[in-house]
A and B are shown apart, each in its own frame.
Chain A
Amino acid sequence: MFTFLKFSAAPDKKGWLLLVISILFLTVSVLLGLFSGASFIPPSVLFKVLFSGSTKDPVYRIFMTVRLPRVLGALLAGSGLAVSGSILQTVFHNPLASPNIIGVNAGAGLFVLICSILFPGARELIPFAAFLGGLLASVLILLISMTGRMSQLLLVLTGFVINSLFTAGMNGVLILFPDAYVGAGNFLAGGLSGITTAMLIYPSFGILGGILLSLCFAKGLNHLGLGTERASALGMNVPVTRGLAIVIAAALAGAAVSFAGLIGFVGLIIPHAVKLLIGTDNRFVLPGSALLGGMFVILCDLFARTLFVPYELPVGIMLSFMGCPFFLYLILKNRSRRDMEC
């Protein structure tokens, strides 16, 4: 799809080109997501209803209560998780570090469940609980990785263990308190059905704020990519930069998990896809991940709700179905060009 990008020489030009193209694709997928669904709303009908202001019209109500929150949710979750994944890959200097693999999502998920048991009515607390859970998981891994020299493989294994721990916690909680979370199955697989605008308010601040902050941080993140020792030999305060980056990554992933559940795959594959296309400069990788991550989840969600009408798949399942082949294609195509060393 983006193969022609490889021919232009200067990396900066490639980066800008990718951003422009992603904005176009993202716009198209947002429109597609808004118009199509269980029933297709032709653009002409939709605009007529929106501008006439007839709030009772069923088309208007479908649009405002189902389509719009859903597409917005997909956009926010996708971009948040993709940026979170990009940050974690740089901070841990590890191509496999992504919020779903090293347990950030699972930590957020566990805290969401615990929060909904302790404070059953308080939906507005959930995003904060998710952030704390994600932060707990990532700080745990950071502390463990700082105890000594740790190979990349060992780091991923540690993340995997933490992920298993929190996942076990979630399953335990759900068995002990079966009514803890309405629609738990959807939450565990990652789904966007039943999303409302109210659920999106706090997370949207977290995700937009997190992405903006991460963009300010892009240059610092680039320097972290030099390796811990080299970056600090250049006078960078590595622990502080790493710590801040991890807080941002946890906020992004936590905010996404709080309303979309455990959709994970996007945090791994989108950063890689972007890096394979334009290299590793975070000034472009971060916004590129945000745009393409949003686009990817919107499209997957669109398929998830239209392929098997009247049934709906959780978007997490669709993400894996669509993402795996695409990712395999990218790996096979680029294996000679760039080793993903472990």
Chain B
Amino acid sequence: MLKMEGVSYSYHKNRPIITNLDLDIKAGKITTIAGPNGCGKTTVLKLASCLLRPQTGKILLGEKDISHLSKKAVAREVSVLLQNNQIPDMNALRAVTAARYPYQTSFTGYTKSEEEMSEYAMELTGCKEFRHKNMAELSGGERQRVFLAMIYNQDTPLILLDEPTTYLDIHVTYEMMELIRTLNRKQKKTVVMVLHDLNLALQYSDSLVFMRQGGIFDIHTTGDNHILESIRTLFGVEVRTFTDDQNSYYCFAQSTDTDAIL
């Protein structure tokens, strides 16, 4: 689905953020990228959605090199929810309708059916009741739902989410994760997300990509027992597991073994 080959990127000269990164994301799966702050997780998402151009290497979407596609064509393949504090200056419904932009030709207005699609997306993500409110008037959680409705409305096979659960309370967090799971299972969307909450990551994803200092540290499927070992070494924390008949829950505690912190 998404393939990165030897990709490097730096915002400033001599301070590379991504170095020689290879990554292969399988179609139809939920993949979570985890890693310490500043290791380049967000940059990977921005590269994959063509917001940044890699300085070396290439990025393939399916068979196609992303740099050969037009911006609109990329936007029909990849949608991305970013950590961005700029609040759209418009009402929620218009923001969601704007997500149909990649399918538009020239100056035609939005059609009735596109407006209906937007309303449906908002109903699904539970933000229909404030569709006429300005984005600036919404709470952080409400806004995040509108952004997810935009992602749904953009209707791309690959969905990238940068910390989709920020600003959300614990109840809405789980709602959001269930929604993402539904998108993945019912609509066959491939999801790549960045999460800091490892419990959520382990519960909801098929595999975890651990990053460190602009490269891949380790990749594991969630069933894999070595995954906890990776968390231990990468983050320098102890992991304890509790299991009931449905799920495994993980508890992270500060490591007593100082050598574990790299």
**Chain A contacts to B: CB under 8 angstroms:** 9-11, 90, 93, 216, 219, 222-223, 225-230, 232-237, 279-281, 337-339, 341
**Chain B contacts to A: CB under 8 angstroms:** 49, 51, 70-76, 79-80, 82, 84, 86-91, 94-95, 98-99, 101-102, 107, 109, 132, 134, 136-137, 154
Nearest A residue (CB) for B109: A219
How close is B128's CB to chain A, nearest CB, in angstroms? 14
Which secondary structure characterizes the binding site on chain A? loop
Show 10 residue pairs from A and B whose CB-CB distance is below 8 angstroms, ordered by the A residue: A226-B88, A230-B84, A232-B71, A236-B71, A236-B101, A237-B71, A281-B91, A337-B137, A341-B87, A341-B136
A11 and B98: CB pair below 8 A? no
Across the A-B interface, give the 6 residue pairs with the lowest CB-CB distance, nearest first. A235-B75, A235-B72, A227-B86, A225-B89, A235-B71, A235-B102
How close is A241's CB to chain B, nearest CB, in angstroms? 12
With A223-B98, A338-B134 in contact, do A235 and B109 touch (Cβ < 8 Å)?
no
Other-chain contact of A9, B74, B88, B94, B132 (Cβ < 8 Å): B132
B137 and A338: CB pair below 8 A? yes
Nearest B residue (CB) for A90: B89
Residue numbers in B under 8 Å from A228 (CB-CB):
86
Instruction: Give Cα distance in the complex from A281 to B94, angstroms.
Output: 8
B79 and A226: CB pair below 8 A? no
Instruction: Give Cα distance in the complex from A9 to B129, angstroms.
Output: 13
B98 and A233: CB pair below 8 A? no
Residue numbers in B under 8 Å from A235 (CB-CB):
70-76, 101-102
Instruction: Give Cα distance in the complex from A230 to B86, angstroms.
Output: 9
A227 and B88: CB pair below 8 A? yes
Residue numbers in B under 8 Å from A10 (CB-CB):
132
Residue numbers in A under 8 Å from B79 (CB-CB):
233
B82 and A338: CB pair below 8 A? no
B134 and A232: CB pair below 8 A? no
How close is B135's CB to chain A, nearest CB, in angstroms? 9
A280 and B134: CB pair below 8 A? yes
Which secondary structure characterizes the binding site on chain B? mixed
Other-chain contact of A11, B75, B84, B89, B91 (Cβ < 8 Å): B91
How close is B234's CB to chain A, nearest CB, in angstroms? 28
How close is A103's CB to chain B, nearest CB, in angstroms? 22
B109 and A229: CB pair below 8 A? no
**Extra inter-chain contacts (7) besides given A10-B132, A236-B71, CB under 8 Å:** A11-B132, A223-B98, A223-B101, A229-B51, A233-B51, A234-B154, A235-B70
Interface centre among A222, A225, A230, A341 (most CB of B within 10 A): A230
Instruction: Give Cα distance in the complex from A227 to B137, angstroms.
Output: 16
B88 and A225: CB pair below 8 A? yes
B84 and A234: CB pair below 8 A? no
Nearest A residue (CB) for B80: A233
B136 and A234: CB pair below 8 A? no
Instruction: Give Cα distance in the complex from A230 to B101, angstroms.
Output: 11
Residue numbers in A under 8 Å from B76 (CB-CB):
235
Other-chain contact of B134, A219, A234, A279 (Cβ < 8 Å): A279
Instruction: Give Cα distance in the complex from A235 to B66, angstroms.
Output: 13
A216 and B107: CB pair below 8 A? yes
Instruction: Give Cα distance in the complex from A225 to B91, angstroms.
Output: 11
How close is A285's CB to chain B, nearest CB, in angstroms? 10
Nearest A residue (CB) for B103: A235
How close is B5's CB to chain A, nearest CB, in angstroms? 22
B91 and A279: CB pair below 8 A? yes
How close is B13's CB to chain A, nearest CB, in angstroms? 15
Instruction: Give Cα distance in the complex from A235 to B91, angstroms.
Output: 21
Residue numbers in B under 8 Å from A219 (CB-CB):
107, 109
Residue numbers in A under 8 Å from B134 (CB-CB):
279-280, 338
How close is B69's CB to chain A, nearest CB, in angstroms? 10
A226 and B98: CB pair below 8 A? yes
With A234-B98, A338-B137 in contact, do A280 and B90 touch (Cβ < 8 Å)?
yes
Nearest B residue (CB) for A341: B136
A225 and B90: CB pair below 8 A? yes
Nearest B residue (CB) for A237: B71
Other-chain contact of B95, A90, A226, A233 (Cβ < 8 Å): A226
Nearest A residue (CB) for B101: A234
Instruction: Give Cα distance in the complex from A219 to B100, angstroms.
Output: 12
Instruction: Give Cα distance in the complex from A90 to B90, angstroms.
Output: 10
B75 and A230: CB pair below 8 A? no
Residue numbers in A under 8 Å from B87 (CB-CB):
227, 341
B86 and A233: CB pair below 8 A? no
With A229-B82, A234-B154, A235-B75 in contact, do A280 and B109 touch (Cβ < 8 Å)?
no
B90 and A222: CB pair below 8 A? yes
Instruction: Give Cα distance in the complex from A229 to B89, angstroms.
Output: 14
Instruction: Give Cα distance in the complex from A339 to B75, angstroms.
Output: 32
How close is B194's CB to chain A, nearest CB, in angstroms? 15
A222 and B75: CB pair below 8 A? no
B91 and A233: CB pair below 8 A? no
Interface centre among B70, B75, B87, B89 (most CB of A within 10 A): B89
Other-chain contact of B98, A222, A280, A339, A341 (Cβ < 8 Å): A222
Residue numbers in B under 8 Å from A225 (CB-CB):
88-90
Residue numbers in A under 8 Å from B99 (CB-CB):
234
Residue numbers in B under 8 Å from A339 (CB-CB):
136-137
